[in-house]
Every structure is written in C-alpha cells, then in structure tokens.
Amino acid sequence: MKLMQIGEVSRLSGLPVRTVHYYEDRGLLEPASHTEAGYRLYGREELAQLRFISRAKLLGLTLEETRKLVALAEGCNRGEIVPDLEETLREKLRETERKMEELSAFKENLLYYERQLSETGPAELCGEEASFCGCVDAVTGTDSED
C-alpha cells in the first residue's frame, strides 16, 4: 500500500491541509502511520474516509453525527452503518422541514413589512419628534421606547 504525505492527500481529497488537521483534531481521522521525522502518512483508507466526511458534510451532518458514522463505517460491508445513516438522514429531513417552515414565516413577515413601508409616507416613517430615525419602528409597528 502506497502511503502519502498530507499535501498529496489534501490534493486528492480536495480538502485544505488545515481541514485534514482539523478532522484529525476532532477525532474523525487518524494517519495510517508516521515517518521517522514525524510526518503524517495516509493510505487509501484514510483518503476514502476524508471523502466520506466531505460527503457527510454535504448532507448537512454535524461533526458529531459524522464521527459516529465514521466509527460505524468499519462495519459497512456488514450493513451496520445503514440503519444509523437512515435515521440520521430522516432526522436531517425533519430538521430541514422545520427550518423551511421558519424561513417561510420569516419571508411572510418581510413581505408584510415591505408592504407597510411602501404604504407609509416619509413623514409618517421618520417622525418629526423622533430623536432617532423611526422608520423601522413605523414599519414593524413597534415603539422605539421599549
């Protein structure tokens, strides 16, 4: 098995050297070995692991979720990772749905405030007695003295 130094692994994985070090620090990756001078050496397995981590990140998994799956990945050929991966992805889908609902409500609020702004004249927005611009307060219907 050909071992590679971190620069080559970085190039092949498409990840910066700092990211490889970060994943090591977080317990997601361990070098296959070290040279006599202490340089880290990586093999095909570690390169595959980095690609796995990158894909997990694309799925929106946290480092902790990824760490758990990396630990289970050793049993991949026996199907041990599949149930955990399915559950993790289902939870990510539920979380994504919640976030989409929140963003939809936020969008509706912004559209409402935009309509308020276009329907309110400059004199009403700025207020003559305000010591600070009252535009946002006028649009949102809040009192700046709160």
Q: Round the average pLDDT of the chain to a whole number and report it.
A: 85
- Rg for the chain, CA atoms, rounded: 26
86: which 2 tokens?
Answer: 């399915």
Q: Kindly state the helix (H) or strand (E) to which residue 96 belongs, with its residue range.
A: helix 81-119
pLDDT category of residue 122 using cuts at 50, 70 and 90? low
pTM of the predicted model as reported, rounded to 2 decimal places: 0.65
CA angle 143, 144, 146 (to 5 degrees): 75
Q: Which of the pair, 40 or 116, is modelled with greater confidence?
A: 40
Residue 145 has pLDDT above 60, yes or no: no
Residue 75 has pLDDT above 70, yes or no: no
Residue 138 has pLDDT above 90, yes or no: no
Cα distance between residue 107 and residue 98, in whole Å: 14
* End-to-end Cα, the chain, rounded Å: 68
pLDDT category of residue 120 using cuts at 50, 70 and 90? confident
Q: How far is CA 65 from CA 58, 84, 95, 136, 143, in A?
A: 13, 10, 14, 41, 44
26-30, 41-45, 54-58, 76-80: segment of lowest average pLDDT: 76-80
Q: What is the pLDDT of residue 80?
A: 73
Domains detected in the chain: 1-63 (1.10.1660.10), 75-146 (no CATH)
Question: What's the average model confidence in pLDDT over 16-32?
Answer: 94
| Residue 136 DSSP class | H
Residue 146 has pLDDT above 60, yes or no: no
Cα distance between residue 96 and residue 89, in whole Å: 10
